[in-house]
Structure 1
Amino acid sequence: MPHSTSSKKLLNMFISSLNVQKKQGEWHWQWNKFYDDNKWLFTEWIYPNKLSDFKNKTVLDCGCGGGQHLNFVSPYCKSVTGIDLNTPDIARKNNKHNKNVKVIGSDLASIKLRQKFDIVYSIGVLHHTDDPSKSFNNIKKLAKKDGKVIVWVYSREGNFLNRTLIEFLKRYIFLKLPKNILWGIANSMAFLMYVPIYTIYFLPLRFLPFYEYFSNWRKLSFSRNTMNVFDKLNAPQTFFIDEKTIRNWFNKKEFSNIYISQYKGVSWRGSGTKK
């Protein structure tokens, strides 16, 4: 079903969605400004799952943002539905060429759909919701029995500087600045970070903070790295998920084939098959 399907047909699938969380305009500015086309990074976030696992599956993208991940999976899927509270218009625009994509503007924590999906994923989004556990507990209901749930979230472990210094500066300074100025600051910060990343972080000093994480910077463009910095400064709220929490999400009572691993020392990858 194409994304341009009439609202009447969408409502046939869409039972109810009361927006509990407030819309955040910061994301609209960000995804109008930038588009992420790094498919390889997406494949690392969903590991050990592969894009080939999406073949002929019905898929739900929870927090589709600018719609870039919809573009990655749509060639493989039977159909893919994106949900986003803040930027569904941008996701639709960026996927207008994909006939098996549709996008719904709604809240992950409260959305209810008649349809259940073979694969439900949320990449880099749950930690920005008002209550990440509430959001996860809602989206897992949208997976079929024997369906797959996949998430990638920021970890509490390995993020001391982000949890303290960056979050403090963001709350009291960065979020109050005009976005064009904040984008300029992100560019400057990214530029300055290249000095240690291409010098001291080339040495085998694994005790350094963000050592694994910065290895990815050397694989990405300056523009993509600037967007990454901007994302840290622009997100209205960020919760850092600890290991206990993500293991509670993927508990053995509700899931089988559970896989949880830390990614680059600063985030968690989690997936499981719904019982």
Structure 2
Amino acid sequence: MAAVGKRERRWLWIAAIPMALLALSCIYPIVFAINNALKTSKGYILDRFGMVTDPTVQNFADAWGRARFSEYFVNSVLVTAGAVGLLLLLSSLVGFALAMLRFPFRRLVFVAILGALMIPIQVVLVPFYRTVEGLGLLNTRVGLVLAYTAFFLPFSIYLMTAFYRGLPRELLEAARMDGARFLEVWWHVMLPLGRPALLTLGILNTLYCWNDVLISLLVLQDRRTLMVGIAALRGEYTTNVPLLAAGIVLAAAPIVLVYLVFQRRIVGGISVGAVKG
């Protein structure tokens, strides 16, 4: 038994080596961005990869002003909150219907939703832009909210369907026998039970919407979101890297904080589909 324990510990140490290297590869860009954000332009040119010796916070102040951080931050918060709320509502309703109800072509609908997950966003950008322009939603927050909902809804439906399928069907039958309608079953039974999955889905969709640049750049061409504003800090011919790094750190700080607080929920939600799908 002792030999088996030593062998297991040896394999754990061997497996820990590539995992540690992977962790370092993820941590290094963060350290690199913060380190360069604290440098002056001259300090960065003289030593791009060295540790900062004369730190300054002026880059953060300049990035806040030049990127119009406060205005773009409000745009990002409103759009992200609207899209995440709409995604949670629709995915919970559709996931409940696909998992618990019986209606014609139910499996075909679910397969079509899974197929939508395989379509790259870049493939549909041209018809997407023409549709948004034709509906008069260009340069509106509502248009961007609806765009995020359309692009991120297939994954959201899949996750909620996988979660609801893991719940006993007897819950639906018991509620129906008590005279509850389908919407009442969803509201009073399924929605409370689905809170863990909904919380995870909300966190994931918040990450997606907050970090998006491509869709936001197409829809909100005049009223930018925060990530688009940070990207605009890049110069046409040269780029002030410390200034850009400071902007990236400011923009990423809220979402990194959300991830650190809810990281266990995120990991648990990703495994829902694999375990209960």
More strand by share: 1
TM-score (norm 2): 0.26
More helix by share: 2
TM-score (norm 1): 0.27
Q: Which has the larger radius of gyration?
A: 2
Q: Which has the higher contact order (CA 8 A, sep 6+)?
A: 2
